[in-house]
Structure 1
Amino acid sequence: MTADAQAWSRLLVLHARVEQELSKALHRKHGLGLSEYRALGKLTESPKSGMRMQDLAEAIGLNQSSVSRMVGRLEDAGLTFRDICEDDRRGVYSVITIEGHKRYADAEPTYLDVLATALAKAESDPDLASAVAALRSA
């Protein structure tokens, strides 16, 4: 295996371990999936508290179909609602609600704590220490 392939493999293992820990904690403590948490974060950061669905999909790394289903779950939970784009009636926005802002704010400390813990745990693994170091120095 080449050095690039080994580095990539370590990064994938690190990613999988951290994502698993984040996903479990967010679901258990806040009833959110990891993609839902990230979507709420992007909507929170947005100047108008909303984004076109296609832009949201790109921002969190999901395809359009997956984002539509995820936004449906967020709407059912009262965390977002859909709105029509004023400039282009074909465009649909996902807009975060007050409850969505609150759920995101409640979940953020959990996300940050679990992320720090998962990275520290991975850093103690000799196979992953260099991947964590590279991530933290970037």
Structure 2
Amino acid sequence: MTKRSDAWLRTIHMVASVEGDLGKVLQDRHGLGLSDYRALQALSQSPDSELRMQELAAHLRLNQSSVSRMVERLERGGLTVRDLCPDDKRGVYTVLTDTGRQRLNAARPDYEAALEAAVREHGCPELLAGASTGGG
């Protein structure tokens, strides 16, 4: 392997380890999967707290089927609702509810603390060296 390949493999392992730690904290403390948390976060940052299903899928880098199942779970928990696009009845939006926003806000401090701890533990603070630690 080349040095670049070795570095890439180490990076993949670090990211996977951090993701695993984040997912465990979110599931154990808030009953949210990592993709669920990221979906709520994306919706909270979107205009009117809503995204078309395909926009959410693209944002999360998930296929349409995975996002549909995830949104069904979020809806069952009262965290999102679906809404038809007024311009195109075939278009479906996922909308963040007040309950979803509260759940996201409750989980955010644990997510941020777990992220800081995991980045330190897995030896990858240089990956995030230029990132701000401000809310988001």
Q: Give the TM-score taking structure 2 as reference length.
A: 0.92
1:41, distance to aligned residue in structure 2 (A): 0.2
Once the two structures are superposed, the pairs formed by residues 5-44 of structure 1 within 5 Å of their partners are 5-44=5-44
Structure 1: stretches of 5+ with no match in the other structure: 124-130
Q: Which residue of 1 aligns with 2:134?
A: none
- Distance verdict in 2 for CA 1:3–1:137, change over 3 Å: farther
Aligned CA RMSD, in angstroms, stands at 1.1
What is the Cα deviation at residue 60 of structure 1? Answer: 1.0
Alignment of 1:1-138 (within 5 A): 1-123=1-123, 131-137=124-130
**Amino acid paired to 2:116:** A
C-alpha distance in 2, partners of 1:134/1:24? Answer: 21
Q: Give the partner amino acid of 1:24.
A: K
Deviation of 1:137 (Å): 3.7
- Aligned residue pairs total 131
**Ranges in structure 2 where 5+ consecutive residues have no aligned partner:** 132-136
Q: 4+ runs of 1 displaced by more than 6 Å?
A: none
Structure 1 position 134, deviation (Å): 3.7
Report how far residue 95 of structure 1 moved: 0.3
Secondary structure of the corresponding residue to residue 48 of structure 1: helix
What secondary structure, in the 3-state scheme, does the structure 2 residue paired with 1:86 have?
coil
Residue 70 (structure 1) shift:
0.1
Instruction: Provide the identity percentage.
Output: 50
Report Cα offsets for 1:64-118 as digits up to 9, x if no partner. Answer: 0000000000000000000001121110000010000000000000110000000
- Compute the TM-score of the two structures, normalised by the length of structure 1: 0.91
Aligned AA (1:89): K
